[in-house]
Amino acid sequence: MVAVAGRLVLAAVLVAASIAKLAGPRSSSAALATFGIRRPGVRWVAWAALIATELALAAGVAAGLDLAAYLAAGLMAAFGVGLLAAMLAGRAGAPCACFGARSTVGWPAITRNLGLAFAFALLPLLPTPSPAPTIG
């Protein structure tokens, strides 16, 4: 039961991140400049790819696919490392669009992403309920 709840909650986090980006497309796309994506056309492609990836991983995590959980863990870890690099480059407080236009580069965002990476990595290790036996 815990595994199912964890999968649904973490899948919802990915969906929420995508919805937040979709709610403010211009500002969340522009925030990708914080990470060195300067050209607007490239930012839009990266923005769309991020949303598609988050939604695909959310579907896989919700469906109970261990691979999707591990890939989501890797994505969150990569986001955490990207945020740390931006922080070390002096971009603290710059927009990151992690969860919409108001999200900024900082220690809370780094901690959140690394915590999510850990949670996604743990999902496949949680015990799952056994299917009910069939009669017949």
Q: What are phi and psi of 127, to 5 degrees?
A: -70, 140
DSSP 65: -
Cross-strand bridge partners of residue 104: 95
The yes-or-no verdict on residue 37 having pLDDT over 80 is yes
Say if residue 130's pLDDT is above 80.
no
Alpha carbon distance 99, 38 (integer Å)? 20
Instruction: Tell me the pLDDT tens digit for each residue of 40-72.
Output: 999 999 999 999 999 999 999 999 999 999 999
